[in-house]
Structure 1
């Protein structure tokens, strides 16, 4: 049978950086969180300790040589480095990947996952100790301070980011699909500029004789144009009843939310993919985020190597059946969340040996295993019983209203800070604009810009009967006079509307979400 390439998520937080020293104390790394972990209930496996006390430093070449050797020996085909790139090109934890780029003799195939969330300070006290930050949504109503803010900018900022990535993309070790660099984005749903940015990157890639960018979104609910596929990243994807179609039972142990390990794996097999988009079903090793969240955290119970091997094999079959090139595993070295293939004092190399066994079994499997493959397909059928069922339409509506809720929350924040959206439009040179969508959000935007330097020359709306006392409203079939930009307020359907408008106009199109988050 055809082999499948395994790629493990890779956390670069195993070296000192000034930001962590400032925020969390001198010498803070991922090891700090792991060492400080407490045993919070009977049978709780904490603290987790690397085999032979190998508290390594990723700035040392011998560390990556050792990791590359493990990968080669145990059947891991590549690493997906978390990539942190913030507002104005600010980077953190970038040194391990940069060093790997310079260490050409380290045989370590790799790609990037852009963790495009703001970093927020959210203390969780464990005795007299503080845990690592929790990364929260930029537009979260909670949280007590943004440490690094995620903003995307426009073409200049997109080009700067692409130029930083370019040497990695051109490296022979960088993982590609049909000669296109594989680039994963953590929060595509929250990127108002996703389609435009990826389109722009693809043009820049062609200029560099790169055939494009192969882009995956993690657990994405919206199928954005320009996205090549979705990665359902375990275990988070599989305790989502919309993805797995199965509500999970759990129990609290001294405040910690505990899930049965095998039940999460069963959900991975039940999970259905996107109907119109390639879907990769990712596996996982374990989970326990109490080193970061304390007794507010979540953990797996009944974790076993045998269950991992059994279900990783079935998940590999599931991916092969739908012709997926990769099986992603979470993770290689996420010690602060209990997700690691690396050897530890309790199990040694057992998870790596299980991975090698799965790869060998896949290579040696033959046609007589077709029945097992069929059984994997059959579990995709939604189960009956008293489990929660939410239709696709209801899920879409839920996402739509949630998105508008966050937009309105962000807008109120700006109003409280006396920030007007005209600031961003002026910065971009968009002084004469049109508004697409004169519903609730469009009317608010029109009022916001009323006494500013921005001139709203007309509005566009699908409702041909709509009228407004202060502005001309054009139908989508009318001729649109030249403006500096069209601002689309129907953000949930932005990609569809933008595609339609691009057939009629050649000037910039921006979404209301971009205005709100980039101002």
Structure 2
């Protein structure tokens, strides 16, 4: 039986950047939020202070050398760096990973997790996305609340992003599965171009003599074509009843939402596997985001190293039962969210020592293939199977309604800005189009494009009995005359529809969700 590699999530926020100076004040880093934290209820563990006041700077090579040595000493097999890449290739917090690429003498295996969330400070345009708690006066920023906006573009932008990642993928230290570089992506449910982009990246990878890319969707409800697996990243995945199939109560302590630590870990153990893709179950150290979100924050209570060690071992067995090669732990250094393995003044090296103990225990039982591990594997297989079908049905319905809600919300925002979707089509040269899907979204699109320069040649629908007076409706089994593009309005199943359409046509296929999000 193979062993499992422990990978800790890694936040590259511990150095000064111009954007943080502008938005949050000169010299702002993760340490700024951590130092400003306050006790907000009785027994609240804040502020959290690193052992020996080690308020390090990630621009210093010595810092990353020490972190790499610490990880190896206590049984961590690598770090998963958060990767921030936005519209038009804008990057932030990229220097630590770029420096690591240059400092190839540092023994730090690594991979990337693309946090593709837009950064904003108000509900305007993008929803409520308060990234950092700020008790001081408003800083200078774009008046609509947007700090960094996420837009994916099309093939040109996808290739530019891939070319940026390529030197990292080619590094000998980059973590791979089946000789493919591991790449995690958040918010795949809201990423309309996911399947197309990953398909394009894999073609580029082949040109560069890579065997592919191993893609994991983080906390994804929808299983999309192009995913190699889904990672349930703790703790947020496990207080989500759609994933855990168990609603968790919380205590309100002086306005702070407080979850019991062991209760969340128990939810980890009952979380079910996805039906059609490999499922990775991630662990967590602790959680308290009040340094970032203040009185709107969430915190754990009754956290203990003993509980962490007990359930981390069970979690490792659960992942082994799924034949998983990787065990993700959140996190190595998320001080602003209370998730860190690094030593602090209260617990010192205790969480790291727990990692080492679990790894040694696993090495022993895997080699011996003893009864303890065998029974644990059987138990976890049973737990996974019990809730799989329930989760699949609940997630599908929840995901569909959630997606349509956000799409209609975005459409209304564009209306409020007097923007018509015809602009996107004209900008891309799509003047003669076909529409796939004549449900609610399809009918709204038809109305949107009336009296514009965009001409609808025909529609495609699974119900060939539909009649529309202004254009022809074709069955999904018919041939499709050439157009400038086919626009798919059945967005929830877009990856499946795109995969089928590309076998029949050699011209652009685009999701209505992608159009809305790129406007």
Asked if these proteins are the same fold (TM beyond 0.5), I'd say yes
For 1:294, what is the secondary structure of its paired residue? helix
TM-score, length-normalised on structure 1?
0.94
Note the C-alpha offset of 1:76: 0.3
Contact 1:74–1:352 (8 Å) recurs in 2: yes
Q: What is the CA distance between 1:400 and its match in structure 2?
A: 1.0
- Residue-by-residue CA offset, 1:101-160 (whole Å, 9 max, x unaligned): 00010110000000001001156998954799xxxxxxxxxx961110000000000000
How far, CA to CA, are the matches of 1:124 and 1:501 in structure 2?
A: 39
Partners of 1:445 and 1:495 in 2: CA distance:
20
Does the 8 A contact of 1:125 with 1:294 survive in 2? no
Number of residue equivalences? 505
The alpha carbon displacement at 1:478 in A equals: 1.9
Structure 1: any 5+ residue segments left out of the alignment? 133-142, 384-388
Q: CA deviation at 1:442?
A: 1.2
Within-5 A mapping of 1:247-258: 247-258=247-258
Answering whether residue 41 of structure 2 is matched by residue 7 of structure 1, we say no
Q: Does the alignment pair 1:43 with 2:46? A: no
| SS state at 2:409 partner | helix
When residues 354 and 89 of structure 1 are mapped into structure 2, their CA distance, relative to the original with a 3 A threshold, is same
Once residues 150 and 347 of structure 1 are traced to their aligned partners in structure 2, the CA distance between those partners, rounded to angstroms, is 38
Structure-1 separation of matches of 2:295 and 2:162 = 40
Distance 1:479 1:124, change over 3 A: closer
Output aligned runs, 1:16-415, within 5 Å.
16-122=16-122, 128-129=135-136, 145-365=145-365, 366=368, 367-369=370-372, 370-380=374-384, 382=386, 392-415=392-415
Distance 1:407 1:281, change over 3 A: same
Give how far 1:398 is off.
Answer: 2.5
Over the aligned positions, Cα root-mean-square deviation in angstroms equals 2.0
CA apart distance, 1:445: 1.1
CA 173–125 in structure 1, closer or farther in 2 if over 3 Å, else same: closer
- Deviation of 1:373 after TM superposition, in Å, equals 3.4
How far, CA to CA, are the matches of 2:135 and 2:431 in structure 1? 54
- 1:465 Cα deviation (Å)? 1.1
Report the Cα distance in structure 1 between the residues aligned to 2:419 and 2:488, rounded to whole angstroms. 20
- Check whether the contact 2:121–2:131 (CA below 8 A) recurs between aligned residues: no
| SS class of match (2:478) | coil
In structure 2, list runs of 5 or more residues that go unmatched: 123-129
| Structure 1 residue 362, shift from structure 2 partner | 0.5
Q: 1:249 to 1:335 in 2, by over 3 A?
A: same
Change (3 A) 1:410 1:50: same
Instruction: After TM superposition, give the deviation of residue 456 of structure 1 in Å.
Output: 1.2
Counterpart-to-counterpart distance in 1, 2:3 and 2:55: 33
> What is the alpha-carbon distance in structure 2 between the residues aligned to residue 263 and residue 362 of structure 1?
24
Alpha-carbon distance in 1 for matches of 2:250, 2:284: 18
Normalising by structure 2, we get a TM-score of 0.94
Asked if structure 2 preserves the Cα contact closer than 8 Å seen for 1:342 and 1:352, the reply is: yes
CA contact (8 A) 2:331 2:339 kept: yes
